[in-house]
Structure 1
């Protein structure tokens, strides 16, 4: 992957200053990451440009260079599942099923997209898809397996990860007016969490 993008120039809209944290608006960095996540999921790496990401994020290309340095560094940020995993697994095992559902819904709202689905739907080349799968396995599935007790922890972790991906896919497929989008998170957790919790407990 090239670390340079010839479409980037230092000229552009005056968007280098990010909004104040208390305004409630999306920060420049969050907007860039969200736009990059969408771009790298929908198009092969070679077809993604910093200028296109900047236009989608509403910032200048120079701000992306300032914040991330290169397209490759931005891709590596997008391919990092650890921030989502930190939030998803921040509960004791006995309460983890419900926490996973509620946190998934909250992350989708905050990120304006699913934090995990790019591992399934990425249109990159084999190297890019392999990198995403390896990172997902290391940062999500294997980390979850280490939290589980009892028999078959890796199998159960894979099944739990699959159910989380299924929840995200369902909510995405039926947006914007599907029943899932209209259902309060607590009700989604009432219905979905027991199956996850059974896998967590290993009964």
Structure 2
């Protein structure tokens, strides 16, 4: 077992990272619990104990609710900056983008549809419900698109990404005003 897998909550974070990678890079039918376990540095039986079946693990991985909780946990007046800082914090601490996996998910049409529907409800619609003024749904979709774009820009330009190397506060200073303009637009 790797040090990462044994840390914290008995490998939970390592299992989730490995499962996200597996479900993002391979169609659902090709993902195995053994493969996830090997990547996470844990036993397959530990995954079953922690998450149950492959279907239950997939359901956990495609749950965007916790990411939305963190992203939207700020007053509207500072939400744009908070979203940028939150996204960067998650990327740096957990080595995963909290939203971007919805774009790269493979699998069959049913799996992609399930992931996109959950994303729409748990992220985009939830944000729209927080926004005041006209065209809240449109503004929420644009904000989410900008957050996905930030994650993609960082991920695509690795390992030499200026955005990834930038101080989070500076990056928020540059990127958040455009988000904030959509948050408060009436």
* TM-score scaled by length of structure 2: 0.95
Q: CA deviation at 1:97?
A: 0.4
Coordinate RMSD, CA, aligned: 1.4
* Alignment partner of 1:173 is 2:163: no
Q: Which moved more, 1:177-186 or 1:142-151?
A: 177-186
Q: Kindly tell me the number of residue pairs found equivalent between the two proteins.
A: 184
The residue aligned with 2:85 is: 102
Give runs of ≥4 in structure 1 deviating > 2 Å.
Answer: 18-21
Pair member with larger Rg = 1
Of residues 59, 67, 70 in structure 2, which corresponds to 1:76?
Answer: 59
Please give the residue correspondences for 1:83-162 in structure 2 after superposition, counting only pairs within 5 Å: 83-162=66-145
- 1:56 pairs, out of 4, 24, 39, with 39
Structure number with higher helix proportion: 2
Equivalent position SS for 1:116: coil
Task: Quote the offset at 1:28 in angstroms.
Answer: 0.1
Give the TM-score, by structure 1 length: 0.87
* Alpha-carbon spacing, 1:20–1:43, altered in 2? closer, same or farther (3 Å): closer
1:161 aligned counterpart, secondary structure: helix
Q: For structure 2, which runs of at least 5 residues remain unmatched after alignment?
A: none
1:182 and 2:165 matched: yes
State the alpha-carbon separation in 2 of the partners of residues 117 and 110 from structure 1: 16
- Structure 1's unaligned 5+ residue stretches are 1-12
